[in-house]
A and B are shown apart, each in its own frame.
Chain A
Amino acid sequence: MSLLELDGLTIRYGDTDVVRDLSFGVDNGESVGLVGESGSGKTQTALAILGLLPANATVAGSIRIDGTELLGASEKALNSVRARHVAMVFQDPMQALNPFTQIGQQVGRILIQHKLASAAEARARVIRMFERVGLPDPARQFHAYPHQLSGGMRQRAMIASALIAEPKLLIADEPTTALDVTVQAQILELLADIRRDTALLLITHDLGIVAGHCERMLILADGRLIERGATREVFARPQHEHTARLLAAAPRLDRTDIPTGPRGDTVLAISGAEVIYADRGQESLQAVRGVDLTVRSGETVAIVGESGSGKSSLVRAALGLVPMHAGRVVFCGTALAGRVQHRKKAVRRGLQLVFQDPAGSLNPQMRVASIVAEPLVVHEPAVDAETRQERVIAMLEKVGLGTDYVHRYPHELSGGQAQRVAIARALILRPKVLVCDEAVAALDGTVREQILALLREVQAEAALAIIFITHDLSVVRAISHRVLVMYLGSLVELADNAELFANARHPYTQALLQAVPVPDPEHAGGKAILAGEVPSALRPPDGCAFHPRCPFARDICSAERPPPRKIDGATVACHFAEDLSGA
């Protein structure tokens, strides 16, 4: 008998089945990956196991833990199962933890609630558990509130609370999606280390994580289980065509079809950019610290970095959306005014932006046609309505949307379609530079590939210069000619795509590359080379901002900020770049 057995589970909201006839089992101690794109029903399944579905869901079938039926069980019975038999780690620990209670109290309460320990024992056990999950100074952290912890530390606390009652099954729902890649690697290693004989059901969209951490995998599509098997088997010989598609769209760092298109003259040059957010004479935060960047026509420059690296601030300052404290921006030979409202119209149409959240960047009260037409109305008021409409339709067709979309509202579009509309709006003025701020981060793998292909296509057609901000190295690999790596507001490394991935010179770039999970069970990536997390930009370390986490740091690193230096065509800001190349 399996530890967890699902038999014919069906979850329905109104007339819509979100999970259909799902049956699978999880044995003691094994790790199983539950994979699918958004809307495939994976989170609904997890919530059903824990009895946490909202009241308007209709559930049929059977869910058994250790032979005990959970469907239809009383709340009291479910409560005794939760925590002691099954526990869950949620995606966003900030929402899963109570903001008004000290984390130690929250975790300890589970033991007391289930009468597993007295108050005094509970405290001791919580502190021991905090130590195991790698919370530094556990006795002090016991009294910390969730907001006082960093994202990675909060997720550690969440894992501690899930494991404190020693459940037999741990369900982790996208446990690292909200975290930076170097922290993700740490958390996944932690999960693998400390679960011991606890079985793990890992829900994720990231095939790299499954390849590295799961023995078996289950693939969901539209609420149905379409494939199951040993991870190695599925990766080597996918049976279902949807699985094959998912695998093909999985983010990879080793793809060879990297952009090589011709590049023209410099269209945008940013030099000495400094961005400081000041809070009325209180602490000021320096988001960007003297960065130079040039972009040529027909070229894609990716800016990559973890949260707080200043990548968005740099670009927003160049666009004039946030004030630039020092430095200059030159567009096609003309120096630009600092704020966007002071810039000439011709300049404004030349620089366009595509945002991360496709739904949020479209006005929900406007139809697709008016959204795409608006820039034309503003910049070419002489054009009559008919010609404008024709150009809008031609543009929509170019981004792969037919005329049926013209009269839709944004909420009637999928994420990928909405992002296409956003791209159409940005391109209708034929800009010279297109900035994409995490433009594919909110999209599923297959859709992401389509959008990236679309961007490559429009670039080739119009010799468009693209600045692509992302935290995802596989996207960098797929789209860019050159790559700027940033850390805490400074340039770390600037190199050609092929050069950077083959021969990273800066220790931070190297660690970043190592931390990316690889969707290949034979060559698992996702190694946690770096300890700790990105320090607060309010108090950046002296000298090289990276030195507290750098495995190669020496005395000079904490004393002197390394200036960016040219080495064989790449620009690297490290005192020891020559020695570390290819290390």
Chain B
Amino acid sequence: MVSGGILAGIVVVAILGPLISPHDYLQTNFDALLQRPTLSGARLFGTDDLGRDLFVRAMLGVQVTIVVAIVASIVSLVIGVAYGAIAGYVGGRVDAVMMRFVDTLYALPFIFFVILLMVAFERNFLLIFVAIGAINWLDMARIVRGQTLSLREREFVEAARLTGVSTLRIIFRHIAPNLLGVVIVYVTLTIPQAILVESFLSFLGLGIQEPQTSLGGLVDAGVNQMEGASWMLLIPAGLLAIVLLCFNFLGDAMRDVFDARNPR
């Protein structure tokens, strides 16, 4: 609950902050390079090496990071649930072929795969979703398939089959809703994972492109100025840590809630 509150607070500030602030994330100010953060002044988090306001940039980073993570998680959710539920419910040879395909994708070295993608195509937002979604849906598909295998044997599914309910309807009416608990918990736990991956890519310079930024990109910039302007590293790194912790705790809390509601 506390983590949910903190998270909501951060999100609200991240959305409203840049709107209220007199500064703009693009605007450079060569009279105010590397200003220290001050609690009283207009520069809450100070400025960076180009004189841009760090508060606005950090809030923008939070926005981008969370959006990328959530969208990537939804992408992985949709693909993973559909893929896993079909493989698990249909079973037999279809299942074997579909899951071997997943195994094959697992075997690809991910970072190498992403670097190749970045080199081959223009760097853009969309590509990052694709890249992160592409790894996350694999886990989701495996989890969903396992759950489906056990749900398929349940008597209410057998009753539906006997009555003549179509396979598609069984998957969407009987299997999918019963996967919900597990899936929601897993999604809340994959969001921090996606955040980490995105930050990691941005830190390597493979992620969001300047002058847009994300928390990972800010940390990267901060590392370069670590000796003179430690706030440029500490503030985005701290925000990243807080967001990650909140999502992790939220995931745990969700799991407890859904466990309690489904005693079986």
Contacts and interface: CB of A to CB of B under 8 A. Distances in A.
A361 B164 contact: no
Given A345-B164, A348-B164, A379-B164, A364 B159 contact: no
Contacts of B180: 365
Contact of A360 (B156, B169, B262): B156
A198 interface: no
Nearest to B165: A378
A39 to B, nearest CB: 15
A378 B161 CA distance: 11
Nearest to A371: B156
Given A364-B262, A365-B180, A425-B159, A349 B154 contact: no
B163 A429 contact: yes
Contacts of B174: 363
Nearest to B162: A353
Contact of A353 (B159, B173, B263): B159
Contacts of A282: none
Contacts of B164: 340, 345, 348-349, 375, 378-379
A362 interface: yes
Contacts of B173: 363, 366, 374
Contact of A362 (B156, B163, B165): B156
Interface string B219-263: 000000000000000000000000000000000000000000011
B165 A357 contact: no
Nearest to B177: A365
A352 interface: yes
A421 to B, nearest CB: 11
B159 A355 contact: yes
Interface string B143-170: 0000000000011101111111110010
A194 interface: no
B178 interface: yes
Interface size class of A (residues with CB under 8 A): 20 to 34
Contacts of A356: 155
Contact of A361 (B159, B161, B264): B159
A437 B154 CA distance: 14
Contacts of A319: 162
A417 to B, nearest CB: 16
Contact of A321 (B154, B158, B165): B158
A56 interface: no
A351 interface: yes
B178 A365 contact: yes
- The secondary structure that dominates the A interface is mixed
A95 interface: no
B162 A374 contact: no
Nearest to B156: A363
A366 B178 CA distance: 10
Given A365-B177, A365-B178, A360 B155 contact: yes
B163 A375 contact: yes
A387 interface: no
Contacts of A379: 163-164
Contacts, number: 66
Contacts of B178: 363-365
Given A364-B262, A365-B177, A340 B156 contact: no
Contacts of A375: 163-164
A16 interface: no
B155 A374 contact: no
Contacts of A256: none
Contacts of A321: 158, 161-162
A341 interface: yes
A374 B160 contact: yes
Nearest to B169: A378
A374 B161 CA distance: 12
A432 to B, nearest CB: 14
Contacts of B162: 319, 321, 340, 348, 351-353
B156 to A, nearest CB: 4
A409 B46 CA distance: 56
Contacts of B161: 321, 340-341
Contacts of A345: 164
Contacts of A365: 177-178, 180
Contacts of B158: 321, 353, 355, 361
Nearest to B159: A361
Interface string A377-397: 011000000000000000000
Contacts of A340: 161-162, 164
B163 A374 contact: yes
Contacts of A353: 158-159, 162
B149 to A, nearest CB: 16
A423 to B, nearest CB: 12
Nearest to B175: A363
B176 to A, nearest CB: 9
A76 to B, nearest CB: 33
A349 B263 CA distance: 33
A360 B159 CA distance: 10
A379 B165 CA distance: 9
Nearest to B167: A341
Contacts of A341: 161
Given A348-B163, A361-B158, A378-B165, 19 more contacts: A321-B162, A340-B161, A348-B164, A352-B162, A352-B163, A355-B155, A355-B159, A357-B155, A361-B159, A363-B156, A364-B262, A364-B264, A365-B178, A366-B173, A374-B173, A378-B163, A378-B164, A422-B159, A425-B163
10 contacts: A348-B162, A351-B162, A353-B162, A357-B155, A360-B155, A362-B156, A365-B177, A375-B164, A379-B164, A425-B159
Q: Which 8 A-B pairs have the closest CB atoms?
A: A365-B177, A361-B155, A348-B164, A355-B155, A363-B156, A375-B163, A360-B155, A361-B156
